[in-house]
Structure 1
Amino acid sequence: MQQSTSGTTVTLDPDSGLTATELAERYGLAVSGARPKLLAYLRQLWSRRHFIWAYASARLISTYTNARLGQIWQVLTPLANAGVYLLVFGLLLGTSRGIDNFIAYLCTGIFIFTYTQQTVTTAARSIGDNLNLIRAVHFPRATLPLTAVLVQLQQLGPSIAVLAVIMLVTGEGIDLSWLLVVPALILQTIFGTGLAMTVARWAARTSDLSQLLPFVTRTWLYASGVFYSFDRLPADMPDWVVAVLQANPMAIYIDLVRYAMMDSMGGDPPAYLWPAAAGWAVVMGVVGFVYFWRAEEEYGRG
């Protein structure tokens, strides 16, 4: 029997007694679409970095193609959300009591939380929405959730610019501490990337996850101190509940940005915030990436 590999024709002897695996090793054959080693996988992704960025930019532009206001919705959407929460929680329920500059406090929470929320939501659809591409072209599947992360990162830029204006309008002064927003967002992005890859693998197996995610992220929103302060929780609340709320990664990233941009927060952030933010980023980033990579051969099947 003759077999062609890499343009070279070789003769396979069916009576040689070798197994299919041994024959493949002898003639340098490999399984199509097999999962590469982790370092090789990282190199493949790095070699496609320009494509991933261009693809993310194209996806962002196409998102607002049919909207009359176009990409202005990148800013209007979080502002509208902040307005609704200001009305409900700030004015009607009074969670603003005791919080200096509640408008800036609330907008920071909404903008920063929305970044991760949208990252996870879009990453959950990244495999299912691209099944035809996955089945037709061989490429690192992590490209798809990474694209989802970059789309939301590009959307975050205008939101941070608007947040800076809100800070100035509400009386917060420009300070060198504003530069700390950059490392805070870098850590949040690493955390969000790992979480996005984890959710992308789950959603690839269970399409119903996309329907459940809005309820999960809404609960997460309420537990992240977006429109209230943990310092003003009821005195009879168990200590372990307070500890869990304070360890919430989104509450940590939100507070880092608040302390960086708001003098009204009253000084330096608590000592645990930066180590906790770095710890969440490293653990979630590494675990999420490896978890997604381990299922590389499964995406697009079924």
Structure 2
Amino acid sequence: MSETTHDGSVAVSAPPSPDEGLPAARLAAKYGLSVSGARPSLFEYVRQLRDRRHFILAFSRAKLTAQYSQAKLGQLWQVATPLLNAAVYFLIFGLILQADRGMSREVYVPFLVTGVFVFTFTQSSVMAGVRAISGNLGLVRALHFPRASLPISFALQQLQQLLFSMVVLFAVAVAFGSYPAMSWLLIVPVLVLQFLFNTGLALIMARAGAKTPDLAQLMPFVMRTWMYASGVMFSIPIMLEGKPEWIATILQWNPAAIYMDLMRFALIDGYGSANLPDHVWAAALGWAVLFLVGGFVYFWKAEERYGRG
């Protein structure tokens, strides 16, 4: 197409583009383009996480190694910290407040230490999850990867830390008369279910913490309240004897109490099934599946917003 200008020269104009007037979505689809940072489908997201499983494992190991790198005792603090907490709780609750009522010393000491170790696993996963995105913005903004890798790796880090601590937990149990038995095999499914639950909870807290960084300052108070309500230092049925039964039922069915009681049942002689709520294994599985699936979907729905704004 040509036209004559005012000075007599001929100007040639380009023909109209066949793409002119096409909506942006159709134009992008025509040339195989996609929005940078767009959220993938749920199944594609799972595939991406599977492909990055080596990164998730390596990142969790690196974080575990670096956690106490500045301390002179190094990795010993992985075991020393929960043991010191257990010693303080035993002094206050076991000796002063006599929260061991109904239990012999041989049962109460491993009961307390087990509770502290197992609850610390969940507590640390939650606290790490809150900071998973907000504390790693440089990594999130610099590299493209499924953001769920971060809270999952932090939950895996806490699992590895607990596994190191289990050696001490076994030693405490044996020292107070609970020797290895077939019931100890139940420790494996308990840890698997609790890890799945913790991972889902870490995913939920990671999304919440990415939007509200101040949540990290509030969570220690929430976790402390949860600890006191979960029977870490005392037996819920014995301590609430004479109170309305529904209170003890609610507290016993909260997931932290369920995983602690299952670990105690597996590990401690004298802590029998009478101390467990009905259908406890179904409840443990239900909490794990509910939080893992729900937490994963909840986190995935905000995938494209992490690290922006």
Q: Give the percent of matched residue pairs that are identical in Structure 1 and Structure 2.
A: 53
Deviations 1:242-288 (A, max 9, x none): 12101110000000000001111135755421010000001111000
Q: How many residues align?
A: 292
- Counterpart of 2:103 in structure 1: which amino acid? I
Q: Aligned partners of 1:301 and 1:14: how far apart in 2?
A: 36
Match of 2:116 in 1: 110
Change (3 A) 1:132 1:173: same
User: In structure 2, how many angstroms separate the alpha carbons of the residues matched to 1:234 and 1:291?
Assistant: 36
Work out the CA distance in 2 between the residues paired with 1:153 and 1:68: 23
Q: Retained in 1: the 8 A contact 2:99–2:239? A: no
Alignment-derived partner of residue 159 in structure 1: 165
Query: What is the alpha-carbon distance in structure 2 between the residues aligned to residue 201 and residue 87 of structure 1?
Result: 38
Label 1:133 to 1:196 Cα distance change in 2 as closer, same or farther (>3 A). same
Distance in structure 1 (CA, Å) of the matches to 2:73 and 2:278: 43
TM-score by length of 2: 0.91
User: How far did residue 234 of structure 1 move?
Assistant: 3.6
Distance verdict in 2 for CA 1:37–1:119, change over 3 Å:
same
Q: Which residue number in structure 2 is paired with residue 125 of structure 1? A: 131
Amino acid of the structure 2 residue aligned with 1:233: M
Q: Distance in 2 between matches of 1:22 and 1:231?
A: 63
Q: In structure 2, the residue corresponding to 1:135 is in which secondary structure?
A: helix
Structure 1 residue runs of 5 or longer lacking an equivalent are 1-11
Question: Which residue of 1 is the match for residue 72 of structure 2?
Answer: 68
**Other-structure match for 1:288:** 295
- The alpha carbon displacement at 1:235 in A equals 3.6
Letter in 1 for 2:231: G
Q: Distance in 1 between matches of 2:195 and 2:72?
A: 30
1:91 alignment partner in structure 2: 95
For 2:66 and 2:233, locate their aligned partners in 1 and report how far apart those are by CA, in whole Å.
Answer: 32
Task: Give, in whole Å, the separation in 1 of the partners of 2:19 and 2:170.
Answer: 75
Cα deviation, residue 166, structure 1: 0.5
Find the aligned partners of 1:61 and 1:15 in 2 and give their Cα distance. Answer: 55
Note closer, same or farther for the CA distance 1:270–1:241 as it changes in structure 2 (3 Å cut).
Answer: closer
User: Does the residue aligned with 1:265 lie in a helix, a strand or coil?
Assistant: coil
Q: 2:304 aligns with which of 267, 277, 297?
A: 297
Partner of 2:279: 272
1:82 aligns with 2:89: no
Amino acid at match of 2:24: A
Match of 2:34 among 19, 30, 33: 30
Instruction: Map 1:178-189; keep pairs closer than 5 Å.
Output: 178-189=184-195
Aligned to 1:6: none
Structure-2 residue corresponding to 1:199 = 205
- Pick one of 193, 218, 221 that aligns with 1:215: 221
- Relative to structure 1, the CA distance from residue 205 to residue 93 in structure 2 (aligned partners, 3 Å threshold; closer, same or farther) is same
**In structure 2, how many angstroms separate the alpha carbons of the residues matched to 1:224 and 1:111?**
13
Q: How far, CA to CA, are the matches of 1:97 and 1:15 in structure 2? A: 80
- The one-letter code of the counterpart of 1:28 is G
> Could you say which structure has the larger radius of gyration?
2
Report deviation, 1:28: 0.8
1:44 corresponds in structure 2 to 48
Give the drift of 1:14. 7.9
- Letter matched to residue 96 of structure 2: L
Q: CA RMSD in A?
A: 1.6
Given the alignment, which residue of 145, 156, 160 partners 2:151? 145
Give distance in 1, aligned partners of 2:36 and 2:240: 59
- Determine which of 227, 236, 256 is the counterpart of 1:230: 236
Q: CA deviation at 1:238?
A: 2.0
Per the TM alignment, residue 91 of structure 1 is displaced from its structure 2 partner at its CA by: 0.5
Structure 2 counterpart of 1:297, which letter? E
Contact 2:258 2:284 survives alignment (8 Å): yes
| CA deviation string 1:12-68 (max 9, x = no partner) | 938621111110011110000111111110110011101110111111111111110
Using the alignment, how far apart are the partners of 1:190 and 1:15 within structure 2?
Answer: 50
Would the aligned equivalents of 2:121 and 2:162 in 1 still touch at CA under 8 Å?
yes
What residue number does 1:257 align with? Answer: 263
Where does the alignment leave 5 or more consecutive residues of structure 2 unmatched?
1-15
